[in-house]
């Protein structure tokens, strides 16, 4: 519990990091629509457990092959062992500062993201506060999830969205798949028309062609034409419409497009976002808390984006722990009204004791319990990782 006054003896004692363990997830990896498609046996996500000498364990999520995460933890171990887990920003900044020469933004940064999320979870559990409260306060108690699904051919889109509409989702993002990959503008339009017809006029729709895919074939002129088409179907934003390094083209597209332009999921650390915000490349910025450096880094990016008048919607194509972090971030900033939610991923739906459930309005309640406010199901996690015992060891 929290203490008051200035007597140092009343402060919380340090909670020392004893070990950090990664659980690579295998077996049910959801398809990504990538040209080199994800196979179920591939690892694209990992869970992180930070164990402490106080018996408190915090959990996080990393968007990276879990075997790379395990290797990164070996590199980082001399830097985090014995550190005070109640100081997430200081500890993770130490990890960033002492590893930059190995390459900013890759496996190490992604792994630090998961560690940082877990440290905030520990701080919440130690103080009895939710992460959203620790970040400064709770603006909202629930938020609308948008169901993230892959595009198919037009005659399949009704079947793609119908089960999730029946579950109560009132916002959807469709992406990747054949859209933009066939040089057939008629097919692109037919996919969106079929999706809008299946959803009806009152459901929010967002479109993500996935131009960060390998060897994306389209450029600015295609994006400009597509943006005009998407406006005909009341699309709420056009995400990753250009190759992820095409800053000048993003600026041009954003100025010309009748549909808001979103992006930023491939960027890591706050410094990478500065030129995109300064140049006005995005209407909506989408950092991913499981890649960008964790909660500590994401909150700096969010406040920076708001200073530039750019809307924040976190990228959340990850796990239930990623969703939990996104929910806490959603409540901690004014004006956040959406979180991403992968449709049909066992790594979201199958690893919690109490899975996320939409309320009658299609909203997700934001947990107000200590830390991230969720509890992992050990049996559920064990289905998707080779050795779950060290992960849950107290």
Cα–Cα distance for residue pair 61/113, rounded to 1 Å: 8
Q: Shortest CA distance to 171 belongs to which of 208, 209, 207, 205?
A: 205
Q: Which two tokens stand for residue 119?
A: 């440290």
User: Residue with structure tokens 């046996």?
Assistant: 41
Angle at 29 (CA atoms; ends 28, 30), nearest 5 degrees: 105
Q: Is 308 exposed, middle or buried (0-12, 13-18, 19+ CB in 10 A)?
A: middle
Helix (H, G, I), strand (E, B) or coil at 15: coil
Cβ-Cβ contacts under 8 Å for 116 (sequence gap 6 or more): 60, 88, 91, 92, 293, 294, 295, 296, 297
Q: Shortest CA distance to 329 belongs to which of 179, 150, 81, 139?
A: 139
Other Cβ atoms within 10 Å of 103 Cβ, number: 10
Phi, psi of 58 (to 5 degrees): -110, 155
Cα–Cα distance for residue pair 313/341, rounded to 1 Å: 12
Catalytic residue among 45, 51, 96, 315: 315
Q: Shortest CA distance to 157 belongs to which of 178, 180, 171?
A: 178
Reported as type and span, the H/E element at residue 110 is: helix 107-127
Cα–Cα distance for residue pair 390/394, rounded to 1 Å: 9
Q: Which two tokens stand for residue 240?
A: 């990753």
Angle at 260 (CA atoms; ends 258, 263), nearest 5 degrees: 140
Q: Is position 51 annotated as part of the catalytic site? A: no
Catalytic (active-site) positions: 315
């Amino acid at each position: 519990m929290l203490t008051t006054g200035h007597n140092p003896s009343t402060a919380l004692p340090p909670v020392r990091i004893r070990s950090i363990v990664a659980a690579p997830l295998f077996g049910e990896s959801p398809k990504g629509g990538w040209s080199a498609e994800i196979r179920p046996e591939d690892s694209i996500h990992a869970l992180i457990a930070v164990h402490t000498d106080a018996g408190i364990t915090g959990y996080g999520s990393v968007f990276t092959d879990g075997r790379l995460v395990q290797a990164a933890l070996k590199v980082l171990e001399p830097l985090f062992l014995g550190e005070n887990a109640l100081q997430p920003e200081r500890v993770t900044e130490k990890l960033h500062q002492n590893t930059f020469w190995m390459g900013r933004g890759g496996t190490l940064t992604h792994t630090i993201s998961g560690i940082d999320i877990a440290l905030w979870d520990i701080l919440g559990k130690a103080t009895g506060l939710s992460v959203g409260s620790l970040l400064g306060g709770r603006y909202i108690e629930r938020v609308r999830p948008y169901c993230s699904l892959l595009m198919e051919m037009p005659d399949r889109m009704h079947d793609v969205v119908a089960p999730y509409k029946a579950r109560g989702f009132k916002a959807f993002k469709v992406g990747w798949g054949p859209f933009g990959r066939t040089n057939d503008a008629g097919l692109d339009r037919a996919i969106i028309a079929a999706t809008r017809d299946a959803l009806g006029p009152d459901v929010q729709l967002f479109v993500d062609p996935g131009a960060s895919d390998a060897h994306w074939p389209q450029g600015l002129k295609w994006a400009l034409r597509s943006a005009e088409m998407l406006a005909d179907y009341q699309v709420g934003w056009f995400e990753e419409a250009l190759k992820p390094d095409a800053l000048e083209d993003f600026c041009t597209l954003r100025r010309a497009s009748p549909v808001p332009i979103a992006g930023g999921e491939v960027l890591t650390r706050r410094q990478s976002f500065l030129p995109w915000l300064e140049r006005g490349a995005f209407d909506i910025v989408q950092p991913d808390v499981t890649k960008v450096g964790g909660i500590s880094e994401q909150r700096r990016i969010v406040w920076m984006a708001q200073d530039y008048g750019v809307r924040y919607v976190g990228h959340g194509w990850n796990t239930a722990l990623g969703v939990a972090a996104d929910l806490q971030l959603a409540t901690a900033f004014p004006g956040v009204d959406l979180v991403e939610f992968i449709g049909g991923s066992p790594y979201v739906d199958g690893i919690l004791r109490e899975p996320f459930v939409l309320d009658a309005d299609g909203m997700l309640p934001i947990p107000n319990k200590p830390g991230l406010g969720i509890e992992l199901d050990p049996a559920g996690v064990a289905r998707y990782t080779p050795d779950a015992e060290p992960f849950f060891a107290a």
